[in-house]
Structure 1
Amino acid sequence: MRSILFLTIGLALSSPLLAADAANEMASTETVAADSASPEAEGETPLEAVQVTATRAAKSNFEVSGAVSVVGQDEIRERAALTVADYLRAQPGAFIQATTPGQAIPIVRGLKGSEVLHMVDGFRLNTAFFRNSPNQYFALADAQNVGQIELVRGASSTLYGSDAMGGVVQILTPEERFEGNDWDGRGRVRAQYTTGDLSRVTRVTGAVGHERFSISAGVTAQDVGERQLGKDSDRVPHTDLSAWAADAKMLWAPAEGHELMLSAQYLEQPKTPRIDELVAGFGQTRPNSVEFYFQPQERQFAQARYTIVADAGWFDRAEFHLGYQKIVDDRRTREFGTVNRELEQNASRLRGATAAFNKEIGNHALVYGVEAYYDTIDSARQRLNLNSGALTVRSPRFPDGSTMDSWAFYLNDSISLAPRWQLDIGGRYSKFDIELPANAQGVGVKLEPDDLTGSAGLTFRATDVVHIVSNIGRGFRAPNVFDLGIFGDRPSNRFAIPNADLAPETVVTWDLGVKWDQPGWQAEAFVWKSRYKDKITSVETGELTESGRIIVTNRNVTELDLWGVEAGLRWYMSPSTEVFGVLNYTRGEETYAGDSYDADRIPPLNGRVGVLHRLTGAVSVEGYALYAARQDRLSPRDETDPRVNPAGTAGWNTLNARLAWDFADQATLGLRLENLADRRYREHGSGLDEMGRSATVTLDWAF
């Protein structure tokens, strides 16, 4: 009954005043990003899909030397996603870790958190308090307001700066465009209901405009209930949450070759439980906390973009961005055995300005630009005694008023060396100013690190349908407020002091790949290796405070060796049948103080295989399997993490099916059946087992 009511409400909201077609042509932050000419299905997107992130220019995957995964509009509509990370599950080079429902991140080539740069419409999502471990902030981009997702695998700091070590994942939101001088409008409503977690999602959008002007807006509501695991288990408490989001965008072409874009986005999760703190994990007889809620999590974003396409002498295309982002990370926690409730208010206010230029000169295609970001951290904490009602001020999580500013310039050149050879080479200089005011113990720090980095890629067009590519790049991550901001008394009788010589972490990644693109086949396969040096680690200094506490500090002392294989295939057996598959394999070893051990949170062998068959022009059916091998190569941290079985995470596979019926023009009714065998399983590193047998009904109607 609740699902029927939900679908009815969704349909009622689809009035003519809310007319939008998210399937319409979508222009990215750099240029128009087009879908593949071939139909997309679950799995890897065909290689000829246009992307802009890898090179900051519109090129197909087949024509760039880098390893890129593109999730296009068709696949986005077919997925029943709750977070943006869900779209990247079982894509080449990505593995998804979800500590708690409603929050998830991609692990890219063995790296995660602030070791991967996350972006929305060309603006950094990573802030000064991103940590280099799983975090909740990627979920603050609306999964229903996505036109395309581009994942660049491998070090990408030459074009994108700090944090782009494992790669870059960029969300591109839809842009509504019209033809002709007459005003027109369009609309879309999407509703979905899932039995496994009782989740309900509604999205309504609308757009009006003409050839030179358009304005669009959308609203998303999400309500997630308690999750039911496999093998007919009971529903798990503390897995319910809600969220809502709103967005608006304006496009205006004041003159030929000029375009102004203004956009705003907002998302709030009012109260999201952290499941691994509230439900006992591996090695625990009881959970850590009675209360642990992100309350609320919030993201505000506003951006202006001005694009010029003209033969201006020193550029063919110029793009200027001004943006503002505020992320709120408030928390309410209480441990067992205490009447003290901890209340936190943390926020990042990130301002950014960028300018990027493209210019073709002979056999050279230049991309160059400058950028500057300014981040301010606000932080406060109080303790509430539930018996007395007394509220006392405590030291905040981060020194209030901490700042992290940066500026950089970069240049990349794509050179056609010969009919079959292309060289991409580039460099970047970045400068940072990081300042943390003194905390309650009188400890503060100021750092001014800089970095010079570069990359090179080579493409050999062996035939018209086979390209052999190789890349080498250096990535880096500047120390941020999270690395520097927790000083003074620490647990286990420690006292943390700042390190004014803390330097950026660095990684050098090499890969070799083959891309195959011909009618009826698209495929890619990459082998890669990374050397991660100068990883920031807390170490003992050998000294004691006057009170006898052990003095510790962060230093660049840990090294990692990572390597792996990524492969994707799509075979069009006939005009009505496609077969697809993805395989990812990663290994990692960490070294510290002469000791070597398995690296932290390395994904197991994983991927997907499946077949899509179009029964008629209006009906399609798909069967696919997701799989992951056993992962018992655990780091010392993994072995003590209640989210990870110390004996290793068991391997698993699920059988799934999807049926889609285009019952009217631009109207699709879908049924997705997941985990048909009702298996009980967990994705490695996640804080909770996945859903058991579940059905999702979706309605997508554009008009």
Structure 2
Amino acid sequence: MRHCLPVLFSLAALNAQAQTVDSTRRSIDLDEVRVVAQKFQTKGPVPFQTETINQSQIAQRNPMNSADLLQQTGNVFVQKSQGGGGSPVLRGFEASRVLIVVDGVRMNNAIYRAGHLQNVLRIDPSMLERAEVLFGPSSLIYGSDALGGVMYFQSRNPELSGATNWLVKPSAYVRYGSATGERTAHVDVSLGNRRLGFLTSVTYGSFGDIVQGNRRRDAYHDFGKRFMYVERQNNEDVPVTNANPNKQVGSAYQQLDILQKVTFTPTEGVQHTLNVQYSTTGDVPRYDRLTEMASGRPRFAEWYYGPEKRLLTSYNLTLSRPTRLYDRAMLTAAFQHIEESRISRRLGAAARNEQLERVGVGSVNADLQKQAGRHLVQYGLELTHNNVHSTAQTVNVLTGAVGAFNTRYPDGGSTLQTLGLYVSDGVSLTKALTLNGGIRYGWSQLEAQFTDKTFFPFPFNQIRQRPAGFTGNLSLLYRPTDRTRVSLLGSTGFRAPNVDDLTKVFDSRAGVLVVPNPGIKPEYTYNGEISASQWLGNRLRLDATYYYTLFTNAIVVDAFSLNGQPSVLYGGQMSTVLAAQNKRQAVIQGWNLAAQLRLTNQLTLSSTLNGTQGRIKDSKNTPLDHIPPTFGRTALTYQSGRIQAEVWALYNGWKRIADYNPEGEDNAQYATPDGMPAWTTLNVRGSFKAGTYLTVQAALENILDENYRYFASGISAPGRNLTLTLRSSF
């Protein structure tokens, strides 16, 4: 049974867009996707591989967080290092090399790192109207960071009444999860009349220590078990035997999300939107680090992220009354304040190391669209300003004494400014043939100041960079009928070095010191892909995409020298000096196959499968890091009246240890000696509308209680997990 479910894929025939097709709709049309991620919501075919999740699907899939929402599509791979973690991977790119956008505002900031990130979890899926993924380089519209693609999250707007009377629409839900220890409560209220609307949303989630699956392969009967953890007793660190080794003690956390939106439509074609979002967590333990052992004992007594805070305030002006310059235009001005901290202490040590980062990000986006005969022209600009303030200290846990400690980024402060200008044109050559192309100019300026060099004897006091360059894309879309679509796409992407790349000082492990390197340059990708979609009859749709990407000037951490020396004395220990450098070229290629089969008007079978290969262009053909194994999803969905039900399987192939990058972010230390085993989970869920105002949802995930980990993850997935949800809307 362990791997029989993927066979359904071959039976189904094999989405980029499959989830956007309503299983009950009788008409056949490949144009139904509306791509918000292209700035303007436009009905029609697009030359990109996309994934769209609408509001009803979000409610039906009922995800614990936004990372799980993406993961459930079967087209996005997610790495996890802790219970409060989730790092999406798009086409072999992760973290700072993929872009997160919320309501038209980029979340990526100057300290996004290249390893693994959990920032997508700070987006509350309960507030979303839709989520979209745009696969492949997307720097034309979005500039830096969109090497692997864009994850676009559109929050809900207040619902207007269309009359002078006020429309009041409250809704709420509570959710329980057995294996995750989840207790989540949500409430929102929409209030609106013809011109003015208000939406308030609050979600609080408490998540316990995750209980992993108990059904293991015979060869790895102890894989993932948590035999020991640390407690503080009588001012001493005491290793404690875990009574339930499947309980991953040190994975619990809490999160609060608040949204307030105000919309005002003074006249037809003009809308003003004020958008305030706030997310904060409790302490988020770094579970993978807490499981590391030294001489048979835990290496760390404490390792956690302090409360992660994200405040977004934005103003959006949308104009849809045509003029000579545009048919539609959007202006978005935003400010974000982010706080992140890292706290760690070795077992038995008195000194707790604390590093705190505060980032302020201001941005302005202007995007305009104009239809001129056969041409659909889009153009715009983006301005951003990042200000990074980094502090650090040690705290003696016995006496409370505060001491000096090295900051993660320059203590004198860092700034990163960017400017982007773009123009694109889509021209209908014939009724069946469309040509799209565009170009973008990007410029950035980074400055960092080292004031106190007690910990860092660098031969420089300041870092300054001003990279600039052009990117673009060109595509040909052929659509002979509304049942067939074939597209060819060439695109480029770039990522300018940020503060984390250029200035981070980080002792990642004992005897190793990563130091700043002012000489690194932007990374580039050159991508070509072909995709096709076809309806066969009125019931079966097939989708396929193949892509080939050349990754150049890739920034990697490698051997370096400081003051001419390959090693330095740091923290009382001789440490090898490493630094970020442009030393890598790589090739990434892969494919996506998908199918949707309407068995009846109520019953739909869908399946998707993804494969990615990545190799460094060197004499050893070394594997590139961040490359997931083959993965996918197969689902049988039923919908009729008040009842919705789904049986689905998620599956991952083997990631053999020989395919791990030996020096990157693949985390071989958290895998088996042979790599990460293949796995399949069987799951079922259903919902019943019990009355006018009440819906009951239940799901049983990982029914067979499989023990598994996603590749590169340092925490095991939940075992058999029962979730119960009560939803009410008025």
TM-score by length of 2: 0.86
Q: How many angstroms apart in 2 are the aligned matches of 1:546 and 1:413?
A: 53
Cα offset for 1:619?
1.9
Corresponding residue to 1:195 among 165, 178, 188: 178
Q: How many angstroms apart in 2 are the aligned matches of 1:115 and 1:173?
A: 23
Residue 453 of structure 1 corresponds to which residue in structure 2? Answer: 471
Corresponding residue to 1:49 among 29, 33, 45: 33
Using a 3 Å threshold, how does the CA distance of structure 1 residues 658 and 336 change in structure 2: closer, same or farther? same
Q: How many angstroms apart in 1 are the aligned matches of 2:180 and 2:666?
A: 29
Q: How many angstroms apart in 1 are the aligned matches of 2:480 and 2:649?
A: 33
Residue 112 of structure 2 corresponds to which residue in structure 1? Answer: 130
SS at match of 1:236: coil
Q: Is the 8 A contact 1:277 1:287 kept in 2?
A: no
State the AA in 1 paired with 2:387. T
Using a 3 Å threshold, how does the CA distance of structure 1 residues 46 and 389 change in structure 2: closer, same or farther? farther
Range that drifts further, 322-331 or 354-363: 322-331
Corresponding residue to 1:110 among 75, 92, 107: 92
Q: How many angstroms apart in 1 are the aligned matches of 2:172 and 2:504?
A: 46
- Note the alpha carbon deviations across 1:216-257, whole angstroms, 9 max, x for none: 101101011121111276422011111111110011012221
State the AA in 2 paired with 1:572. R
State the AA in 2 paired with 1:118. I
Q: How many angstroms apart in 2 are the aligned matches of 1:559 and 1:125?
A: 27
Corresponding residue to 1:324 among 323, 335, 355: 335
Q: How many angstroms apart in 2 are the aligned matches of 1:77 and 1:313?
A: 41
Cα offset for 1:327?
1.3
Q: How many angstroms apart in 1 are the aligned matches of 2:292 and 2:545?
A: 39
Equivalences for 1:396-415 in 2 at 5 Å? 396-400=407-411, 401-415=413-427
Range that drifts further, 223-232 or 503-512: 223-232
Corresponding residue to 1:336 among 343, 347, 353: 347
Residue 462 of structure 1 corresponds to which residue in structure 2? Answer: 480
Q: Is the 8 A contact 2:23 2:601 kept in 1?
A: no
Residue 629 of structure 1 corresponds to which residue in structure 2? Answer: 653
Corresponding residue to 2:268 among 245, 252, 256: 256
Residue 684 of structure 1 corresponds to which residue in structure 2? Answer: 711
Alignment partner of 1:377 is 2:388: yes
Equivalences for 1:465-504 in 2 at 5 Å? 465-487=483-505, 498-504=516-522
Give the total of aligned pairs. Answer: 661
State the AA in 2 paired with 1:213. L
Residue 125 of structure 2 corresponds to which residue in structure 1? Answer: 143
Unaligned runs of 5+ in 1: 1-34
Using a 3 Å threshold, how does the CA distance of structure 1 residues 349 and 573 change in structure 2: closer, same or farther? same
Q: Is the 8 A contact 1:532 1:560 kept in 2?
A: yes
Alignment partner of 1:663 is 2:690: yes
Residue 15 of structure 1 corresponds to which residue in structure 2? Answer: none
Equivalences for 1:345-364 in 2 at 5 Å? 345-364=356-375
Corresponding residue to 1:219 among 183, 187, 202: 202
Cα offset for 1:40?
8.9
Range that drifts further, 479-488 or 453-462: 479-488
Range that drifts further, 664-673 or 534-543: 534-543
Using a 3 Å threshold, how does the CA distance of structure 1 residues 381 and 655 change in structure 2: closer, same or farther? same
Alignment partner of 1:427 is 2:436: no
Using a 3 Å threshold, how does the CA distance of structure 1 residues 494 and 618 change in structure 2: closer, same or farther? closer
Q: How many angstroms apart in 2 are the aligned matches of 1:144 and 1:352?
A: 25
Q: How many angstroms apart in 1 are the aligned matches of 2:94 and 2:559?
A: 25
Q: How many angstroms apart in 2 are the aligned matches of 1:670 and 1:582?
A: 25
Corresponding residue to 1:556 among 575, 582, 594: 582
Q: How many angstroms apart in 2 are the aligned matches of 1:497 and 1:334?
A: 22
Corresponding residue to 2:47 among 43, 46, 65: 65
Q: Is the 8 A contact 1:495 1:545 kept in 2?
A: no
Alignment partner of 1:643 is 2:670: yes
Residue 512 of structure 1 corresponds to which residue in structure 2? Answer: 530
Residue 619 of structure 1 corresponds to which residue in structure 2? Answer: 643
Equivalences for 1:300-311 in 2 at 5 Å? 300-311=311-322
Using a 3 Å threshold, how does the CA distance of structure 1 residues 253 and 636 change in structure 2: closer, same or farther? same
Q: Is the 8 A contact 1:383 1:393 kept in 2?
A: yes
SS at match of 2:289: helix
Q: How many angstroms apart in 1 are the aligned matches of 2:595 and 2:565?
A: 63
Q: How many angstroms apart in 2 are the aligned matches of 1:509 and 1:411?
A: 19
Cα offset for 1:610?
1.7
Cα offset for 1:51?
1.8
Cα offset for 1:52?
1.7
Range that drifts further, 326-335 or 632-641: 632-641
Q: How many angstroms apart in 1 are the aligned matches of 2:295 and 2:468?
A: 43
Using a 3 Å threshold, how does the CA distance of structure 1 residues 249 and 503 change in structure 2: closer, same or farther? same
SS at match of 1:256: coil
Q: How many angstroms apart in 1 are the aligned matches of 2:566 and 2:651?
A: 53
Q: How many angstroms apart in 2 are the aligned matches of 1:396 and 1:81?
A: 36
- Note the alpha carbon deviations across 1:8-30, whole angstroms, 9 max, x for none: xxxxxxxxxxxxxxxxxxxxxxx
Range that drifts further, 336-345 or 417-426: 336-345
User: Sequence identity of aligned pairs in percent?
Assistant: 25
Q: How many angstroms apart in 2 are the aligned matches of 1:488 and 1:585?
A: 34
SS at match of 1:451: strand
Q: Is the 8 A contact 2:129 2:156 kept in 1?
A: yes
Residue 4 of structure 2 corresponds to which residue in structure 1? Answer: none
- Note the alpha carbon deviations across 1:173-219, whole angstroms, 9 max, x for none: 11122222211111111111111112011110001111211011011
Q: How many angstroms apart in 1 are the aligned matches of 2:298 and 2:625?
A: 23
State the AA in 2 paired with 1:560. A
Residue 580 of structure 1 corresponds to which residue in structure 2? Answer: 606
Cα offset for 1:689?
1.1
Using a 3 Å threshold, how does the CA distance of structure 1 residues 465 and 205 change in structure 2: closer, same or farther? same
- Note the alpha carbon deviations across 1:625-675, whole angstroms, 9 max, x for none: 111111112110367643333411000101111121111135321111111
Using a 3 Å threshold, how does the CA distance of structure 1 residues 319 and 488 change in structure 2: closer, same or farther? closer
State the AA in 2 paired with 1:135. L
Using a 3 Å threshold, how does the CA distance of structure 1 residues 543 and 659 change in structure 2: closer, same or farther? closer
Q: Is the 8 A contact 2:369 2:378 kept in 1?
A: yes
State the AA in 1 paired with 2:653. A
- Note the alpha carbon deviations across 1:469-494, whole angstroms, 9 max, x for none: 11111001100000111259997767
State the AA in 2 paired with 1:607. G
Equivalences for 1:282-297 in 2 at 5 Å? 285-297=296-308
- Note the alpha carbon deviations across 1:379-434, whole angstroms, 9 max, x for none: 10001122343211222111132000011110010111111110110000011010
- Note the alpha carbon deviations across 1:442-466, whole angstroms, 9 max, x for none: 5431001112111111100132211
Residue 653 of structure 1 corresponds to which residue in structure 2? Answer: 680
Q: How many angstroms apart in 1 are the aligned matches of 2:168 and 2:518?
A: 57
Q: How many angstroms apart in 1 are the aligned matches of 2:675 and 2:21?
A: 43
Q: Is the 8 A contact 1:369 1:410 kept in 2?
A: yes
Q: How many angstroms apart in 1 are the aligned matches of 2:116 and 2:140?
A: 24
Q: Is the 8 A contact 1:639 1:645 kept in 2?
A: no
Residue 600 of structure 1 corresponds to which residue in structure 2? Answer: 625
Q: Is the 8 A contact 2:74 2:633 kept in 1?
A: no
Q: Is the 8 A contact 1:531 1:561 kept in 2?
A: yes
Using a 3 Å threshold, how does the CA distance of structure 1 residues 66 and 382 change in structure 2: closer, same or farther? same
State the AA in 2 paired with 1:409. L
Superposed CA RMSD in Å reads: 2.4
Equivalences for 1:73-88 in 2 at 5 Å? 73-88=55-70
Using a 3 Å threshold, how does the CA distance of structure 1 residues 548 and 421 change in structure 2: closer, same or farther? closer
